[in-house]
Structures are given as C-alpha cells and as structure tokens.
Amino acid sequence: MKAYDVLIIGGGVCGLTAAIYAARANLSVGIIEKEVCGGLVNWTHVVENVPSYKSIHGLDLMAKCREHAESLGVDLVEVEAVTGVDLSAELKLAVTADETYAGRALIVATGRKPLALPVSTEFENVHYCAICDGAPYKGKDVVVVGGGNSGFDESLYLAGLGVASIHILEVFPQCIAAAATQDRARRTGIIRVDTNTKITALDVLESDRGRLHLENCADGKTWTEDCDAVFCFIGQKPNTDLFHGLLDLDKAGYIVANADMETNVSGVFAAGDVIVKKYRQIVTAMGDGAIAALQAEKYIRAR
C-alpha cells in the first residue's frame, strides 16, 4: 500500500493545483490519473483566458503545471485507473489493478468526459479531439458537431492544419461560443455554421467517406452531406461512476460539495468540473483545487 497525507484522484488542472497547494503545506501528496496528467486542457488548442498568458497551447500550460507539482515532490501515478474506493474508514482507499493507495484526506478531481455522437454509426472517422486526431484530414472535408467554445476552438485548430472545409452544426437556435471566437472562425473563409440542425443518421460510403443525414429543427427540411470525418463536441459527462452510493450526487451525476469543497463524507473533498457548479473554466477549476487542498490541510491538522 502507498500512503499519503492527501490522495488526489484525477490529474487535470484542478488536481494538479490541489497537489501544489497541499505540497506547499508540507503534506505528502499522491495523484492517480487514469490517462496522462493534464485532463481536457491537454486537448485545448489555445488557451487565452488564464491570467499570465495571453495565449498558450493547452499541452504547454499543463506541462508547466505538472513541472510545478513535480518540483514540490508530488507523486504522479499515470495511466492507472482507479477501479474501486473505500471511504468508510479514517484512511480513504483507492484501488487500482496494481496497487492500493491511501490518504488521510481524499480529493476527487476526476473531471468530465465528452458525450458521444447521438447517433449510432459504423463510420470510423468520428473523433472527440482535434489535436489528437486532426492531422490526417489536411485537404479534406470535416463536420464539427457542437457550437460551443470547444466546437469553435477545435474548428480553428483544424483550419490551422489545412483542412479544406469545416461545417459546424449546432442543434440549438444559436451558438454559445464566445462572440470573438465565432468571428475569428467565420473570417477563415473555410468555416461555415448552421444552427437548428441535427444529425439523424451517419452512413458509411464505399469511398470510406461518411454521409450525414441532417434535419432542420425549425422547418423539418432534410438533406444529406458527405464528409471525411466528424468531430463531436456536444458536452461532457462527469466521471463519477466510482462514487455512486458513496457520495451525494445530483441528477446529472455531479458531486454535491459545499463552498469549501466538502462532500457528505468527512475527509473527502471534491473539486473542479466534477462538482455541481455554474461555471466550468480552467481558472475556476484551479480555484476549486486550491480550496480543496486548504480544507484538506485543515482537516488533517485538526487530527
């Protein structure tokens, strides 16, 4: 068993911030991350709303956060998924395939994962990360599903890769991405946007392209469109399957935590995108992580 003062599940920006604050309080800290540290920020082409950087690639920002945490002696355990937890005793336990980890305090910072395309399909070129999967589509036609900030940011990244055309589809009457980002996308000349548009089916063509069956939600008009790939950015689902029946969750599966990031279980804190909250931004996740770590320190010192 590996034991720490503070055990953190989730190595995104929230978890790393919590680790930095806890380590600076002279507490031993371990992070367990099922993939690589950085979370969804790693997928972000450009970050322009974090003070101190006018513009920075998400991967670069998270590399700096990771370097900061490691410099303070934080133990980063990556590519190791937690398969079970025990929150009933003074020491909180997290179990993986290879090890059991313990913490005097536990911070849940597991974040969210992308929602799947809302139609079943055999089309293989459906993706959820332009940074990860965009390069093969230089000179090709791409459809992006979702008119939020992620949809537009990822479209701009694809445009920078040399994609021939990008069609953003939004099911609602208007896109909710920042106005400046929408303007920048439209100025590329290769990005067009349709609202009130939903996908009803996605077929595979003999040419290995996909054929989208589309419907206008306002007037019922239907048509088809062929493309080489579909990138989907329609929302997120909280990673809380481990905590059903253990922590209080809302109807959508988000963890209920108070302003001090305390859950219904003493010694267990939750922070970042995984909790019930109004705004989910990089800076709010950082703030949540800092609060959780400070409260975890207070909890531990009191014992």
Predicted local distance difference test score (pLDDT) of residue 131: 81
What angle, 0 to 180 degrees and rounded to 10, lies between the N-to-C axes of helices 13-24 and 282-301? 40
Whole-angstrom distance, CA of residue 53 vs CA of residue 217:
40
Active site residues: 129, 132-133
Q: CB neighbours of 25 closer than 8 A, spacing ≥ 6? A: 293, 294, 297
Predicted local distance difference test score (pLDDT) of residue 248: 98
Burial 69-106 (b: 16+ CB within 10 A, else e): beeeebbbbeebebeebebeeebbbbeeeeeebbbbbb
Residue 228 identity (one-letter amino acid): D
Contact criterion met (CB below 8 Å) for 184 and 104: no
Q: CB neighbours of 48 closer than 8 A, spacing ≥ 6? A: 54, 55, 56
Predicted local distance difference test score (pLDDT) of residue 57: 87
Per-residue pLDDT of the chain (303 residues; tens, 9 = 90+): 999 999 999 999 999 999 999 999 999 999 999 999 998 888 777 788 899 989 898 899 999 999 999 999 999 999 999 999 999 999 999 999 999 999 999 999 999 988 999 999 999 999 988 887 899 999 999 999 999 999 999 999 999 999 999 999 999 999 999 999 999 999 999 999 999 999 999 999 999 999 999 999 999 999 999 999 999 999 889 999 999 999 999 999 999 999 999 999 999 999 999 999 988 889 999 999 999 999 999 999 998
- What CATH code is assigned to 126-232? 3.50.50.60
pTM of the model: 0.79
Q: Do domains 2-113+236-301 and 126-232 have the same CATH topology?
A: yes
Of 192, 197, 202, nearest to 219 by C-alpha is 197
Of 177, 221, 218, nearest to 196 by C-alpha is 218
Pairing of strands 100-108, 92-96: antiparallel
Predicted local distance difference test score (pLDDT) of residue 47: 84
Whole-angstrom distance, CA of residue 146 vs CA of residue 142:
13
Q: CB neighbours of 156 closer than 8 A, spacing ≥ 6? A: 45, 46, 181, 184, 185, 188, 191
Predicted local distance difference test score (pLDDT) of residue 170: 98
223 is written with which tokens?
A: 């048509």
In CATH terms, the fold of domain 2-113+236-301 is FAD/NAD(P)-binding domain (3.50.50)
Look up tokens 């439209």; give the residue: 186
Whole-angstrom distance, CA of residue 213 vs CA of residue 218:
16
Q: Where are the domains of the chain?
A: 2-113+236-301, 126-232
